[in-house]
């Protein structure tokens, strides 16, 4: 009895000692476990995405002073696999010694590798990394690094494009245009401050320091991107895609100076939290890899604000409605897989006992993939992060309306051969749904109840055939 009392006293002492301790960084209640977020403070747009010497660089809009927007710097992280990230010191600071919340702060932009030392800035054996960014109200500027992005210097000839009085300009994206043997910059611009004229301006350069205006396209807002994709994997059928801040895009032709649309605007993401998407330059194997800021991130009591979407690989595929950009999670996610559950050829009948194929799976972070034959179902779906006390969050598909819904986001989705294919990433504070091989995507944030980690597969009104269903536990990128 004495021994039992001693053990109880020891346990009580441990609980009392640890009860007031702060939660370890990257273990907080709403901390993303496999999506990037900063240790603390505000984060928004991804910037300067570039691959060099085995590292993917992720820069981002960052406020080192607090958990709200303002005082923008370029935060910095690197990864060798697009999954595990290492935080590095702040890369780019405001210009002109600005301490203002907005004036001359380091806004969004892009980065490239100066492979041929066009700028003459290279020192040492490493190629120079060039970062093009908007110094808010102080023009487009250039910073460079000769040590694989660890330290940065400002170009002496800044600004490389001055901001005209009364104009809005920001978010330069720079890339090499091989047929014309010159560099191209796409830049959000509101000529003369006229809202009706806002869009994307195209500039060209042969030395990366002096830029010539070429053309302007209206109807876009912020964070432009312009790149090529092979249609159905055929390099002889390349198409250009022009994107804006909300992810909307047009396909067309580009001659190095003018973009000619061949389609109207298309939706890249139907969620409420996908914004400022950018793609990596110099990515290996010619891959087009994209990441976005999951905007409007509100996580009560957390030391940080903002997270990135999970990196996706883009492809261009033919559909009955014409060519469309498809997005799928990068394959490196498999390095995070833990326990696995898989089931095939299961017929689900509403109301029958044990029809929930996801019963008994308990985890906050999972990847769920499934192929569902809608058969006679009126509506089916998966509910995640539920418990006895909490209803959880529904991902539902209305068969008659051909509409997929999650957290208020709605996405039109037609079955293919009467089947719906879903690939769902669930993290502590986000849900990403890639439907029908990534043809359509929803990106949403959420704040589920603590310790609610049950899941349910359900159907209403009729039978649902589950051709296949896999669930992978996703391990944290922040813990060994």
Domain range list for the chain: 41-330, 332-474
pLDDT at 363 over 90: yes
CATH number of 332-474: 2.60.120.560
Predicted confidence band of residue 421 (pLDDT cuts 50, 70, 90): very high
Residue 279 is predicted with a pLDDT of 98
What is the model's pLDDT at position 7? 40
Instruction: Check pLDDT > 80 for residue 14.
Output: no
CB-based contact 462:355 (threshold 8 Å) = no
Q: Are 398 and 382 in contact (CB under 8 A)?
A: no
pLDDT band (50, 70, 90) for residue 152: very high
297 band by pLDDT with thresholds 50, 70 and 90: confident
Instruction: Check: CB of residue 243 under 8 Å from CB of residue 268.
Output: yes
pLDDT digits (tens, 9 = 90+) for 31-49: 999 999 999 999 999 999 9
Per-residue pLDDT tens over the stretch 380-420: 999 999 999 999 999 999 999 999 999 999 999 999 999 99
Active site residues: 45
Residue 19 predicted with pLDDT over 80:
no
- Sorted by sequence, the CB contacts under 8 Å of residue 173 that are 6+ apart come out as 109, 110, 132, 185, 186, 187, 224, 225, 226, 278
pLDDT in tens, 153-184: 999 999 999 999 889 999 999 999 999 999 99
Q: Which of 353, 366, 364 is nearest to 448 (CA)?
A: 364
Q: Examine the pLDDT at 1 and tell me if it is beyond 90.
A: no
Query: Whole-structure pTM over 0.75, yes or no?
Result: yes
- Does residue 269 carry a pLDDT above 60? yes
pLDDT value at 285 more than 70: yes
Question: Which residue from 47, 107, 99 is spatially nearest to 72, judged by alpha carbons?
Answer: 107
**CATH: 1.25.40.340, 2.115.10.20, 3.30.70.100, 3.30.70.330. Which one for 41-330?**
2.115.10.20
Q: What is the mean pLDDT of residues 342-354?
A: 86
Q: Which two tokens stand for residue 451?
A: 């310790």
Average per-residue pLDDT for the chain: 94
pLDDT tens per residue, range 423-471: 999 999 999 999 999 999 999 999 999 999 999 999 999 999 999 999 9
Q: How confident is the model at residue 9 (pLDDT cuts 50, 70, 90)?
A: very low
User: How do residues 75-87 score in pLDDT, each as one tens digit?
Assistant: 999 999 999 999 9
- Percentage of the chain exceeding pLDDT 70: 95
């Amino acid at each position: 009895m004495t021994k039992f009392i001693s053990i109880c006293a020891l346990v009580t002492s441990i609980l009392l000692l640890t009860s007031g301790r702060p939660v370890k960084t990257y273990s907080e209640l709403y901390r993303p476990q496999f999506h990037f977020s900063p240790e603390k403070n505000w984060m928004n747009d991804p910037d300067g995405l570039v691959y060099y010497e085995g590292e993917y660089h992720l820069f981002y809009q960052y406020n080192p002073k607090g958990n709200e927007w303002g005082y923008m710097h370029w935060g910095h992280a690197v990864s060798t696999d697009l999954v595990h990230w290492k935080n590095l010191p702040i890369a780019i600071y405001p210009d002109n010694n600005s301490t203002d919340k907005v004036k001359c702060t380091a806004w969004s932009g892009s980065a490239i590798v100066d492979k041929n030392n066009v700028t003459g800035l290279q020192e040492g054996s490493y190629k120079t990394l060039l970062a093009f960014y908007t110094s808010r109200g102080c023009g487009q500027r250039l910073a460079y690094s000769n040590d694989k992005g660890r330290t940065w210097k400002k170009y002496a000839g800044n600004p490389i494009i001055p901001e005209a009085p009364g104009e809005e300009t920001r978010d330069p994206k720079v890339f090499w245009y091989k047929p014309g043997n010159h560099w191209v910059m796409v830049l959000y611009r509101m000529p003369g401050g006229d809202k009706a004229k806002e869009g994307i301006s195209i500039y060209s350069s042969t030395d990366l320091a002096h830029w010539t205006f070429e053309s302007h396209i209206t109807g876009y807002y912020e964070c432009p991107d312009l790149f090529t994709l092979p249609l159905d994997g055929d390099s002889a059928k390349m198409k250009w895609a022009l994107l804006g801040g909300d992810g909307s895009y047009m396909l067309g032709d580009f001659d190095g100076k003018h973009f000619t649309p061949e389609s109207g605007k298309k939706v890249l993401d139907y969620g409420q939290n996908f914004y400022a998407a950018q793609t990596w330059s110099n990515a290996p194997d010619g891959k087009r890899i994209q990441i976005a800021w999951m905007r409007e991130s509100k996580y009560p009591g957390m030391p940080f604000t903002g997270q990135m979407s999970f990196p996706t690989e883009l492809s261009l595929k033919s559909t009955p409605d014409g060519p469309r950009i498809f997005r799928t999670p990068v394959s490196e996610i498999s390095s995070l897989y833990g326990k696995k559950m898989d089931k095939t050829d299961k017929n689900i009948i509403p109301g029958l006992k044990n029809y929930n194929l996801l019963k008994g799976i308990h985890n906050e972070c999972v990847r769920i993939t499934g192929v569902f034959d809608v058969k006679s179902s009126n509506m089916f779906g998966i509910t995640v992060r539920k418990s006895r006390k909490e209803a959880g969050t529904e991902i539902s598909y209305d068969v008659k309306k051909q509409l997929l819904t999650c957290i208020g986001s709605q996405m039109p989705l037609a079955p293919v051969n009467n089947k719906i294919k879903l690939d769902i990433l669930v993290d502590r504070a986000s849900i990403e749904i890639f439907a029908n091989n990534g043809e359509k995507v929803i990106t949403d944030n959420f704040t589920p109840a603590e310790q609610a980690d049950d899941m349910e597969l359900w159907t209403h009104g009729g039978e649902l055939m589950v051709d296949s269903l896999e669930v992978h536990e996703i391990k944290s990128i922040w813990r060994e």
